[in-house]
Structure 1
Amino acid sequence: MIPACFSQSNTVSCNNNTSNHQVPQNLITCIYQTHLCNSPTYLTLTWSKTLFSHSLTIYATDSFSITISLNPSTFSFFKTRPGSKSIYLNHHHYQRIKLYWDFTRAEFTRNSAEPDSGFYVAISCNAKLEFFLGDLHDELTRQSGLALTRQLSEPTLLSRREHVFGRRNYVSRAQFLGTKHEIGIECSGGVLKVKVDGEIRLVVKRSREKINEEELIGFVGVWLNTVGDMVVVVAVMFKCVAMGGGEQ
């Protein structure tokens, strides 16, 4: 949600009750395909950030769900430390897995709920590393004794969804078919621009006709690339609040 999008600077939302009680929440949800205890598993990682909290929820269907607090306080001595937790899988004959994490040195892009670097999330089964996300391989080995091997395949990212609140600009990074791309959204002067790797791919302008709706929800698709028979599409859904009337 980008409040400045399609709105005039002096415009105030009509629904003050809703805006006053709504806490902005940035969410990034990634679904990975991996293996746990020799069984194909879909892991859903949801990174959540609000003004007062920052957390990661890891969920596997019919198996387990756990939420890790990344930054429970702004005071340094209360910040999260490396951790681990044993979990029993319900539909795997109660096999035990162990979850490891470390976000003490995590680096984040501005307003992003997901770290860019300086972290790891790992899952082992029977003392064998089966899932790893992040870049602190040596730190994981020091904490757990687990080591990355050639047999460990990289988890497959099936989908990624971002729900963000911002003023005027938002930048995200995503990987498609092995290539990393930067996706940017800019809102100013009644114009929404979508950029891919710095190149403008879409421009949406506010209608010159007076708009009475309190908010507008839009969905756009941006063609990105074609590889063989596969077409990669970046889909952007935006919600513009505090709509301003009058012509621009």
Structure 2
Amino acid sequence: MKDFPSCFGENGVQVADASCTSASSISSAAASISNNVSKARASQNMVTCVYQCKLLGKSRLIIINWSKSLVGHCFSVEIEDLSRKCLNRIDVKPSLFTKRRGLKSLQVDFVTLDVYWDLTNAKFGSSPEPVEGYYLGLGYKGEMILLLGDLRKEMLKKTKHLSNSLRILKREHVFGKKFYVTKAQFKDNGPVHDLRIECDTFGLDDPKLVVRMDSKIVMQVKNLVWKFRGNFTISVDGLPVEVYWDVHEWLFGSTTSSAFFMFQTCPGYGKSGAFADRSIVPWSYSQGSNFCLTLYAWRND
């Protein structure tokens, strides 16, 4: 078993003004979330996705945060500037009295980007990230640099060109007693899998950890008391995927602490190094790196 890496990454809404936030502030906020269960439970309804895109010939990180409040679903869009020290951001919040589609401008490095969205018929599962019936796009001078959702044809009619984007990170909080579930897509335009983590540590002398993909067992760890941290390679859609786990807090820590899981596609693994940063934005993430799914699993005792 390899060493476990040091890993502890129109009108339908109210739109907050674009803002700029330092990376250090974001990292500090992320650390606070990790250590405060009340904030963590609030973030149960947040999914962070990071994409690598090209703007003005330069590679940029674009961060989409999907969240859910008592009023409804909302999202934010953040894009880094050329210095990689600042995030330019807009927040899109739901309104009870208007439609859920719109257009808003975002200033980055003295250029204007257009953010388009339509969540009118969006469908959601257990996650605040929509499953289908929506689009979210980021455009510049008629070129879409990022386009998400299954209603892409409608958006592409309004643009000249669609640039390639690379999805590099998804981060999510999941809750349960014995079972922790989410959706996972390891290849762009590839199938979406049902991912389920099974682990019962309450009152058991020999707890075990099981990971299922579409109901099929892809990984099983016995003697978990001795193997509370580790990694193992599985195969998904013909890709090797490295699975890292740390369930120390479930076994020996507070009942309000989370376990940590990371699923990282392996092409090029070992050249750029494994990424498992708990910060919101992987600022050190190199170009051409692999996709990484990170999960914080919280027990509902």
Same fold (TM over 0.5): yes
Question: Contact between 2:79 and 2:88, CA under 8 Å: does it hold in 1?
Answer: yes
Q: Once the 2 structures are TM-superposed, how far is the Cα of residue 165 of structure 1 from its aligned partner?
A: 3.4
Q: Is 1:124 the counterpart of 2:139 in the alignment?
A: yes
Map of 1:161 onto structure 2: 171
User: Aligned partners of 2:61, 2:294: CA distance in 1, in Å?
Assistant: 22
2:50 is aligned with 1:31: yes
In 1, Cα distance between the equivalents of 2:155 and 2:148?
11
Taking the aligned partners of 2:48 and 2:58, their CA distance within structure 1 comes to 22
Match of 1:46 in 2: 65
- Structure 2 partner of 1:68: 92
Aligned residue number for residue 115 of structure 2: 99
Q: Which amino acid aligns with 2:74?
A: S
Q: Distance in 2 between matches of 1:216 and 1:157?
A: 29
CA contact (8 A) 2:132 2:149 kept: yes
TM-score by length of 1: 0.66
Name 2:218's counterpart in structure 1.
201
Q: Give the 3 Å change call, closer, same or farther, for CA 129–212 of structure 1 in structure 2.
A: closer
Residue deviations 1:97-127, cap 9 Å, x none?
211111111122x211111221111122123
The structure having more radius of gyration, on CA atoms, is: 1
The answer as to whether partners of 1:24 and 1:165 remain within 8 angstroms in 2 is: no
- 2: distance between equivalents of 1:195 and 1:82? 37
* Equivalent residues, number: 207
Partner of 1:6: none
SS of residue matched to 1:48: strand
Q: CA deviation at 1:45?
A: 0.7
1:140 positional shift: 2.0
TM-score with structure 2 length normalisation? Answer: 0.56
Partner residue of 2:184 out of 173, 176, 183: 173
SS in 2 for 1:147: coil
User: What one-letter code is carried by the residue in structure 1 that aligns with 2:217?
Assistant: I
> 1:146 corresponds to which residue?
158
CA–CA distance in structure 1, aligned partners of residues 164 and 106 of structure 2: 22
CA distance in 2, matches of 1:212, 1:162: 21
Cα separation, 2, equivalents of 1:63 and 1:217:
28
Q: 1:234 to 1:41 in 2, by over 3 A?
A: closer
Report which structure shows greater RCO (CA 8 Å, sep ≥6): 1
Tell me the alpha carbon deviations over residues 40-75 of structure 1, each in whole angstroms, 9 at most, x when there is no partner: 211011111244442111111235201112x444xx
Q: Is the 8 A contact 2:176 2:298 kept in 1?
A: no
Tell me the SS of whatever aligns to 1:175: coil
Partners of 1:232 and 1:38 lie apart in 2 by: 22
2-structure distance, mates of 1:173, 1:155: 18
Residue 133 of structure 1 pairs with residue 145 of structure 2:
no
1:112 counterpart residue number: 127
Long gaps (5+) in structure 1: 1-17, 243-248
- Distance in 2, Cα, partners of 1:234 & 1:177: 13
Q: Is the 8 A contact 1:120 1:136 kept in 2?
A: yes
Aligned partner of 1:219 in structure 2 is 260
Residue type at the aligned position of 1:200: I
Identity %, equivalent residues: 26
